[in-house]
Structures are given as structure tokens and as C-alpha cells.
Amino acid sequence: MDLFANLATGFGAAVTPVNLGFCLFGCLIGTLIGVLPGIGPIATIAMLLPVTFGLSPLGALIMLAGIYYGAQYGGSTTAILVNLPGESSSVVTCIDGYQMAQKGRAGAALAIAAVGSFIAGCVGTVLIAAFAPVLAAFAVKFRSPEYFALMLFGLIAAVILAHGSVIKAVGMVILGLLVGLVGTESQSATARFTFGVPELYDGVDFVPLAMGLFGLAEILSNLDRSRDRRPAATMISTLWPSREEIRRAAPAVARGTMIGALLGILPGGGAVLASFAAYTLEKKTSRYAAEFGKGAVEGVAAPEAANNAGAQTSFIPLLTLGIPSNPVMALMMGAMLIQGIAPGTAIISERPELFWGMVASMWVGNLMLIVINLPLIGIWVRLLRVPYRMLFPCIVVLCCVGAYSVNSSTFLILMMAGFALLGYVFGKLGCEGAPFLLGFVLGPLMEENFRRSMVLSFGDPTIFLRRPISLCILLAALALIALIVVPQFRTRRDEAFQE
């Protein structure tokens, strides 16, 4: 069958010593930068771009791709261990992953994250191999109106993410939206909320925000407990997940993979939505819904699977249509352009060894990553046993260095301190960071797509209703609102009955 012949070509091209070497190098660097707060795949790939000019096209792409999904694996590690999200999509893993670590289940959480990611990665690779053109055709139907609808849907879902009060979650989403609007607005080039500070003209940078709001704020609140905290960390029973945990995680991985695979193909914001959507789905459909936010294993398995599946399928628009789905893909496209390869539909036919070689290397990369990451779990868990008084200064140091490495600006470091304080205050007031972050990420995209839709339709708001896909998504969003509102009524009725 054609598929097998193609895969054979692909493996033949990818499994040469040189290309395997590139893959390993990429995966190792990727894992490292994923674990280190601050530096991310974008900065690393951008730095390595000129180097790729002298490499073979396939080798260069394999290496860069390895960095990208290696960083996904690494980012989950810090999310679980110290509540530091490496990427915006790792934020969701922080919610339950960190709680699991608090309860002494760090090893289990890391293992589930790694294995779930691996399974999702394999499935993602198969999907690319078998369905790339079909998925691409689906992705192309998404334009500004559909994106707006999707972002709106995502924001409403963010409210469900919260395990506390709905009203506060709404407030946090709105606050996140406002902070997301900081920067220069694209259509009119007006600077908003920038106070004349040049570092704010591109908006608030995600790295200092996430590190301050999540990682550092967590340290600030931990220090309120008078004795060296976390006795539970020393009570780790086993390194691996229990049978029960695996049983619960498996279907979550399956669902997360599907969501991630679908949302990852959508250029623009797909990856972030994938992990949030997977988490929300689990929370709403699980028997163990009460555990979410306190260490539910599904809350780690689903988003992690979604993340990694999304990372694989996000290559599809680039390799089939020449459209990058996120900034990392844009850089990959840059690498291809440097090599003289114009990404687009021609690639599959004109340079099959490139397309199939990449597909094969993705699977190889995922294999390498699970081999790298599983043994590391033992080391990470042992790291957690270090007395907190020695651990937290290291986290503070790494956050500072990481924030500075973004673009050598001391302003960002001070901003990180500000967010740390803000996150601490949020914690005291029972306000959650995850809805804030989703508002922050989706807000500007939503505005941009809304405005563009309005310009394209010459001011006609029914454009969202006339297009079938966006109409469906908007209806789903309405259904979601109903889901949020209705249980409230139900509880009040129950209370009334009890009286």
C-alpha cells in the first residue's frame, strides 16, 4: 500500500546515523530548555536558524522539530514539580499536576505525562501520515470569523476551568483580557496601556507573566507556612502510577489526543486551546469531578496528551499548505526557506523524502523523548526531597535568569516581581490564575479576528452566522453558557427542597 511504501521511504531517510544524531541533539536541547524556565523553543530555534543554512534540509528540520516537542515534554516537568508552566499550553498541567506532586504523587504525574505524551505523539504521527491532506483541507476552512468564534468558545470554557466561584473566574478572564490588550493595536497602530515603556509595546511577555503568576507566587504563598513545608513529598509511595491511576488516565489520554490532534491543526491559538479544552472536557464528564484542582490524574493525562498531539499535528498546515500554525512553525518555515524549499502542497509530491522523513523522525523523536524522560523522573523526584529552604532560592534564581534571557531587559524582571506579588494576592483572595492566563492569550487574537471579520464583511455582523462552521461553534458556546448557568439553578432548587 502506498502508505507503507511512503513510510518506508521516510524511515529510510530519517534513520541514518547523521539524522538520528540531529534528532537526539534536538530532543536533548528541547528537553533542557523546556525544563529551564524562561528560554523556550522559539528563542532557541531562532538562534539556531543560521546554523541550519549549512545542514542538509531534512537534518535541519529534524533537529528543530526535536527541539519543539522536546520542549513540550520538558515544560510539563516544571509544571508538575514547581508550578512553573514552560509554555502557555503547560499552564493547565500546573493545575492538577502540581497538586499531585504536593500529595507525593510527583513520580506518577510525571510518568503519566510522559507516557500520555508519547501515545499522543504516536497517534499524531499516524494521523499526519494517513490524513494530512484531509486535515489540511479542514484547517483551511478556518478563517477570521471561525477563529473569533473559537476563541470566544475557549474563553467561555475558561470559566468552567475554574474550580472556585464562577463570578471570580469571569472576573479573572476579563482581567486577563485587559492585560492581553497591553501593547500596540495592529489595525490602527495605537499603543494601549503601555505608559511609554518600550518593552510593553509588543505586549506583556508571557514568560515573566507565567513565572511570576504561577511559579513565584506559589513560593510566596508557601513561605507563609511557618515550618519547612511539604512533609508529603517525603512520603512518596512509588515512583510509578498505581493501577487505579492508569485505569483512569487511559481514556483521558485517548480523549485528549483527539482534541489535541484536531485543535493543533488550526493555525493560530490551536495549541493553547487544545490543553484547556481537553481539561474542561474531562472535568465536565468525569465521575471524579470533585478531585479536579486537587490532583486528579485525568487533569494531567488529558492536557498532556492534547499538548503533544497538537504539537505533532501543528506541522500539518506547514507541510501541506505552507501555512505556519504558530510562531515555532513560522520559524521552521524560515528554516525551509533558507534551504530553498518553499513549503506548500508541492512538498509531498516533489520532495517526498522530506515530508515522510519528517513524519518518521517525529515518531523516532517521541521514542527518544520517552527514553530520555522516564529515567529522569527518578532524578526529579529525588530533587523534590531537597529541603524547601534550599529548593526555593534555586527556583527564584532560575526564574530571574530565565526572565532576563528573554531579551536582556531588567524591566521584564521587575515586571515578573510585580506579577509574583499579584499572583500572591490572587491566591489570598481565592482568584485563579488559569482563567486569567487564557484571557491573556486569547484576548488579543479574538479582537484581531473580530475586527478583521468586520472589515472583510464591510461591517456586517451576520458574517458569523452565515458561515456554517462559525455558526456551529457559536451555538456550542451558547450551549456551554447554559451548562455553566443551569447547574446553579439546579443546586438552588436542591437547597430549596432540603428546606
Partner 1 sequence: MVRVRSPQDFWAGILFIVFGGAALWISRGYAFGSLTKMGPGYLPTALSWALVAVGGVLMLRALAIDGPAIERSLVAPQLFILAAIVVFALAIERLGLALAVVLVAVTSSLASRDMRWGETLALAVGIAALCVLLFVHLLGQPFTVWAF
Partner 2 sequence: MNDRLALGRSGRVAVLVLALLGLVPGPSPAAAQQDYPNRALHVFIGFPAGSGADILGRYFAAQLEKLAGKPVVVENKPGANSNIAAGIVATAKPDGYSILFIASSNMAGSRFLFKSLPFDTVKDFTPVAAYAEIAFVLTVGAKSPIKSVAELTAYLKSRKQNKYGATNQTAILSTEYYKQLAGVDAVHVAYRTAPEALPDVEDGTLDFMIMDGTFAVGPIKAGKIRALAVTTAQRIAALPDVPTMREAGVGNFEFSPWWGVYVPAGTPQPIVAKLGAWMNQISRTEEARQFLERIAALPLSDDSKATAARLQEDIVKWEPLVKAAKIEPQ
> Site residues (CB under 8 A) for partner 2?
42-43, 46, 49-51, 53, 140, 143, 183-184, 186-191, 198, 201-202, 226, 267-268, 321-324, 327, 330-331, 333-334, 337-338, 340, 342-346, 407-408, 448, 452, 455-456, 458
Piece of 107-115, 172-180, 197-205, 469-477 that binds partner 1 (CB under 8 A): 172-180
From 103, 143, 168, 351, residue interacting with partner 1 (rule: CB under 8 A): 168
From 243, 430, 494, 497, residue interacting with partner 1 (rule: CB under 8 A): 430
Query: Which residues, 6 or more positions from 32, have their beta carbon under 8 angstroms from its beta carbon?
Result: 70, 74
Query: Which residues, 6 or more positions from 312, have their beta carbon under 8 angstroms from its beta carbon?
Result: 69, 120, 121, 124, 125, 127, 128, 261, 264, 362
- CB 108 to partner 1: min, Å: 28
The dihedral of CA 229, 230, 235, 239: what is its sign? Answer: negative
For 38, left (φ over 0), alpha (ψ -120 to 50), or beta? left
* Alpha carbons 444 and 249: distance in angstroms, whole number: 34
Give the count of residues interacting with partner 1 (CB under 8 A).
Answer: 65
Amino acid at 301: A
Residue 344 interacting partner from partner 2, partner 1, none (CB closer than 5 to 8 Å by kind): partner 2
Dihedral of CA atoms 117, 121, 127, 129 in degrees, nearest 10, equals 180
- CB 128 to partner 2: min, Å: 19
Nearer to partner 2, 183 or 310 (CB): 183
Identify whether the C-beta of residue 194 lies closer than 8 Å to the C-beta of residue 183.
Answer: yes
190 near partner 1 (CB under 8 A): yes
* Alpha carbons 134 and 309: distance in angstroms, whole number: 17
Residue 50 interacting partner from partner 2, partner 1, none (CB closer than 5 to 8 Å by kind): partner 2
Nearer to partner 1, 414 or 481 (CB): 414
Binders of partner 1 in range 433-462 (CB under 8 A): 447, 450-451, 454, 459-461
Nearer to partner 2, 254 or 338 (CB): 338
Q: What are phi and psi of 16, to 5 degrees?
A: -90, 155
36 near partner 1 (CB under 8 A): yes
424 near partner 1 (CB under 8 A): yes
- CB 393 to partner 1: min, Å: 4
Identify whether the C-beta of residue 52 lies closer than 8 Å to the C-beta of residue 26.
Answer: no
Residue 12 interacting partner from partner 2, partner 1, none (CB closer than 5 to 8 Å by kind): none
Binders of partner 1 in range 39-58 (CB under 8 A): 39, 44, 47
Nearer to partner 2, 455 or 465 (CB): 455
The dihedral of CA 245, 250, 251, 255: what is its sign? Answer: positive
198 near partner 1 (CB under 8 A): no
Q: What are phi and psi of 294, to 5 degrees?
A: -120, 10
Binders of partner 1 in range 378-407 (CB under 8 A): 387-390, 392-394, 396-401, 404-405
- CB 41 to partner 2: min, Å: 11
- Read off the C-alpha cell for 56: 542538509
* Alpha carbons 115 and 137: distance in angstroms, whole number: 30
170 near partner 1 (CB under 8 A): yes
From 46, 49, 140, 178, residue interacting with partner 1 (rule: CB under 8 A): 178
- CB 146 to partner 1: min, Å: 18
- CB 147 to partner 1: min, Å: 16
Q: Exposed e or buried b for every residue in 61-85, given b needs 16+ CB within 10 A?
A: bbbbbbbbbbbbbbbbbbbbbbbbb
Residue in the block written with cell 524562561: 38
Residue 247: Cβ-neighbour burial (10 angstroms; 0-12, 13-18, 19+) = exposed
Residue 387 interacting partner from partner 1, partner 2, none (CB closer than 5 to 8 Å by kind): partner 1
Nearer to partner 2, 66 or 97 (CB): 66
130 near partner 1 (CB under 8 A): no
Nearer to partner 2, 52 or 78 (CB): 52
Dihedral of CA atoms 387, 393, 399, 403 in degrees, nearest 10, equals -170
Nearer to partner 1, 12 or 393 (CB): 393
* Alpha carbons 420 and 210: distance in angstroms, whole number: 9
From 138, 143, 171, 376, residue interacting with partner 1 (rule: CB under 8 A): 171
